[in-house]
């Protein structure tokens, strides 16, 4: 079985940070009928969180300029992780998931994320 260099270098002991996977839910306001967005805890997992050494950049999102710092988060394989979700780190910071790539045969999942400083949990 062929394995990548990164996959060989990962072990369970590398998953040293506690992260919470948050799923977005849309509900209707009972009084005015407007859609409200909220975030519910989907799972709490162990992960390896690597902050990029690059300084990050200003990006436009929903018409607002925001500052984002890239992160790479590796966790055990988990089905159903999408870009409609986000992560809350153990220190309270929020990461928006930009993409997910499997490492190995359903062994690890590598998430490409960016920290959004303007978001609240």
pLDDT digits (tens, 9 = 90+) for 44-70: 999 999 998 665 555 555 555 556 789
Share of the chain above pLDDT 70, in %: 76
Architecture of domain 5-116 in CATH?
Beta Barrel (2.40)
The model's pTM is: 0.76
- Is 39:25 a contact under the CB 8 Å cutoff? yes
């Amino acid at each position: 079985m062929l394995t990548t260099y990164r996959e060989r270098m990962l072990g369970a002991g590398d998953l040293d940070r506690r992260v919470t996977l948050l799923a977005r839910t849309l509900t209707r306001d009972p009084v005015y009928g407007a859609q409200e967005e909220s975030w519910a805890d989907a799972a709490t997992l162990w992960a390896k969180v690597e902050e990029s050494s690059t300084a990050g950049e200003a990006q436009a999102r929903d018409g607002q300029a925001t500052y984002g710092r890239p992160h790479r988060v590796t966790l055990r394989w988990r089905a159903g992780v999408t870009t409609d979700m986000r992560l809350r780190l153990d220190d309270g910071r929020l990461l928006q998931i930009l993409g997910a790539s499997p490492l190995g045969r359903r062994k690890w999942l590598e998430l490409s994320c960016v920290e959004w400083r303007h978001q609240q949990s």
